[in-house]
Amino acid sequence: MLPYETMSEAAAALGRNLTADETLWFHYTATVPDYYIYYLTIVFLFIVFSLVPLPLIFVELCFPSIISGFKLQPKTHLPFSSVLRCYFSIVRVLILHVGPLQFFSYPAIKLVGIRARLPLPSVWEIGLQLLVYFLVEDYVSYWIHRALHHGWGYEKIHKVHHEYTAPIGFVEAYAHYAEVLILGFPSFVGPAIVPGHMVTFWLWIILRQMQGIETHCGYDFPFSPNKAHTFLWWGRIS
């Protein structure tokens, strides 16, 4: 909830007129508690996991020859029933595990200093913070993920993630609930080190999940954004 009752009060506090984006943000958040704003994160996660994998899955199911040259396992095709089972498993994890985690993690978000008030961050601020988030998350996730590939961690937890030997985008979040919670931690480390605005946090969560979905899509496209970042090791042991 913003500490201003009118836009003129907000402009006076900032010492300038609000930008168009800040005006929209003011109208949306002026009377909305901060924790309501943070809880929208689970809505964004649901939208990303539901929609982002669909175009590639649709093409593979209906017009497989168009992209067959990029498929990592060209002779393997998942039936539609398997795709649905994977998706509904993800929905269950989002509702039963990720949702409650988002609900109880709000105090931590406030503690590290992620803000929802004006002013909105600049493009440069968002870009630099996202760079830090990607670097930190990739490093921490790599070592946690590597540890889960050995011994007890693999047999009891990570093996679930590899049930689908022919990957599709939905598989990115198909995992044991413990792994979902464990690997959610690296995504929070960057924002904890360099806290920013809630808008930046939302964008980070969306882009991170999109990267994971692309990594698990089962195709190796030459124009993949992941190829532009040689420092990203996540997909090499997924």
**Predicted local confidence at residue 48, as pLDDT:** 93
Asked if residue 59 belongs to a domain, the reply is: yes
CA diameter of the chain = 64
Q: At what angle do helices 185-193 and 198-215 cross, to 10 degrees?
A: 140
122 pLDDT higher than 90: yes
CA 72 – CA 127 distance, rounded (Å): 32
- Total domains in the chain come to 1
Q: Is residue 27 part of a domain?
A: no
Handedness of CA 50, 56, 59, 64 (dihedral sign): negative
* The pLDDT of residue 2: 74
**Residue 148 falls inside a structural domain:** yes
**What average pLDDT does the structure give for the chain?**
86
What is the mean predicted confidence (pLDDT) over 172-186?
88
Identify the domain containing residue 64 by its residue range: 33-236
The closest alpha carbon to 53, from 138, 173, 164, belongs to: 173
Q: Are 171 and 164 in contact (CB under 8 A)?
A: yes
Q: Three-class SS of residue 71?
A: strand
Q: What is the pTM of this model?
A: 0.89
Whether 216 has a pLDDT exceeding 70, the answer reads yes
Query: Is residue 115 very low, low, confident or very high in pLDDT (cuts 50, 70, 90)?
Result: very high
The closest of 201, 158, 209, 177 to 101, measured between CA atoms, is 177
Which string of b and e fits 156-195 if b means at least 16 CB within 10 Å? ebbebbeebeebbbbbbbbbbeebbebbeebbbbbbeebb
Assess if residue 24 is contained within a domain.
no
| Structure confidence at residue 101 (pLDDT) | 84
Q: Within a domain: residue 20?
A: no
Q: Is the pLDDT of residue 164 over 60?
A: yes
Between 131 and 173, where is the model more confident?
131
> Is residue 152 a part of any domain in this protein?
yes
Local structure of 194: helix, strand or coil = coil
How far is it, in rounded angstroms, from Cα 211 to Cα 94?
18
Q: Is residue 61 part of a domain?
A: yes
Q: Is residue 188 part of a domain?
A: yes
Residue 115, beta-bridge partner list: 197
Nearest to 182 by CA among 151, 141, 211, 125: 141
The neighbouring-strand residues paired with 168 are: none
Over the Cα atoms of the chain, what is R_g?
20
